[in-house]
Amino acid sequence: MFENEVVKEILNKYRRIWSIGHAMGLMGWDNETYMPPKGSEERGYAFAELSTLLQELLLSDSFVQLVEKAKNQDNLNDYEKGVVRVLDREISIFKKLPPSLIYEISKTSEEAFHAWKVAREKNDFSIFAPYLEKIIKLNIEKAEKLGYEEEPYDALLDLFEEGLRARDVVSIFSYLRPNLKRLLDKVISQKYFYFEPELEKIKYEKEKMEKVNIEILNLLQYPWDRARLDVSPHPFTQGLGINDVRITTRYEGYDFKRSLFSVIHEFGHATYELQIDENLKMTPIGGGVSLGIHESQSRFWENIIGRSYQFTSIVKSILDKNLEFTKKYTDEDLFRYFASVKPSLIRTEADELTYNFHILLRFELERLMLKGETKVDELPEIWNQNMEELLGIRPKTFSEGILQDVHWSHGDLGYFPTYTLGNIVAAQIREYLMKNTPLYDLINEKRFNDIKDRLRDLIHKYGSTYKPKELLLMKIGEVYNPEYLIKYLTEKYLK
């Protein structure tokens, strides 16, 4: 796979850089799961020091010269070209960002995460506000250092989805917003999926729900010798390598689908990382290509598979055995509960029809922040007004409004649009697979490894070898096309 001698030398030197990233990933996972709260200050310094050390190694003269030499090599294969492309991009980014800025962002985000947790628990935005204000200023500085042609948001979007621009996102939402609104209005009028599920209010015991989640992962053939399931305030996936991937969920004690679909969602992320070609491990291309493509895998498993009638019928016996209260409900009752539509305040609990309105809200707020067109103390009210305009509901607390997401505490602006890209690409993949794959028959027959094999060959095995748009064009014939999402939702929801 890697035959060029210069590229081999690069990969040998890269092991040290990869190892620092590996350690930082483990620290990040620990930070969100088991680290004592008072450890945040020391962890913040340690994380910041490692961030700057990683930058120093990546920008060392000997390493940069090797990458430059590789750029001029003839006859590199696709994997070698991918290594050079990814490293050249990282070097370019790090050259533009001074170590002091990277250090400050890392340190601030470590402290901000714990401030966010406390603020969310106490429903007190003032605890988090000073950190958010600093994060916005640091991201504005970051965008200016990186450079952009049209607006600051472009510079940050590109970090998460190579080649994506704000105008692309505006174009996507210009199509989605009216079409989703039309669909939502029809679903509400039909009332089949628009109702108040009794199951949302039924309480469950954490220990029993844990058993459900483990059995669901066993059904999906989750490799426990290479992966874990833990608990965190905000469900996430941490890939430390292709043989060490960790996912989390949360247990709120009611509305069990929240915990269940968090697990299935994160399983999708984990499966991507676990199915990258073994030959790519510990290389610059040994991870997912972008957040949008990554999100497409989690949304594919969560929504297209997990919320299907076929999957519902399969998991009914697991639920009945462990939760017991589900016994009195039919397969169709459960399916309607899983696929129910109701404008809600919390993004992670939003249904398939309303989810992208949550992303639109965050996208518009982030653009305001980066343009300096709003003050931090105005953000909660702007959030509430936009939520009311988009979905007809208004948060009563900070915790169910502006404090609900963890992302800004991590220092990340420009991340949220990749969630909508994920929904779009998941629908595109479904359409592509169904041309020559009996997808829903495979679900009925519990042949989940067959589905994973198809996704491996389509997306997973390549890691970051190709750019996101290049990969999509090569494998499914077109890039982000929101029409397939509307088609899928129309077929599912309009009876």
Sorted by sequence, the CB contacts under 8 Å of residue 154 that are 6+ apart come out as 148, 165, 166
Is 198 known to be catalytic? no
For 235, half-sphere exposure in the C-beta direction (CA atoms, 13 angstrom radius) is 25
246: enclosing H helix or E strand: strand 244-249
Helices (H), 392-438: 417-433
CA separation for the pair 211, 231 (Å, rounded): 14
Residue 347: C-alpha distances to residues 32, 356, 402, 441, 450 (Å):
19, 9, 11, 31, 31
Backbone φ and ψ for 187, nearest 5 degrees, come out as: -65, -40
Return phi, psi of residue 195, to 5°.
Answer: -165, 175
CA–CA distance, 367 with 359 (Å, rounded to integer): 12
The number of angstroms, rounded, from the C-alpha of 200 to the middle of its chain's C-alpha atoms is 25
SS3 assignment, position 124: coil
Given 32, 104, 161, 266, the catalytic residue? 266
The sheet that has 244-249: what strands, in order across it? 227-231, 244-249, 237-241
Contacts of 424 (CB under 8 A, 6+ apart): 172, 296, 480, 481, 482, 484, 485
Question: Coil, helix or strand for 428?
Answer: helix
Residues contacting residue 344 through CB under 8 Å, at least 6 positions apart = 350, 351, 354, 391, 393
Q: Are 267 and 259 contacting, i.e. CB atoms less than 8 angstroms apart?
A: no
Q: How many CB atoms lie within 10 A of CB 240?
A: 17
Rg (CA), the chain: 22
Q: Where are the alpha helices (DSSP H) in 220-278?
A: 257-274
Residues designated as active site: 266
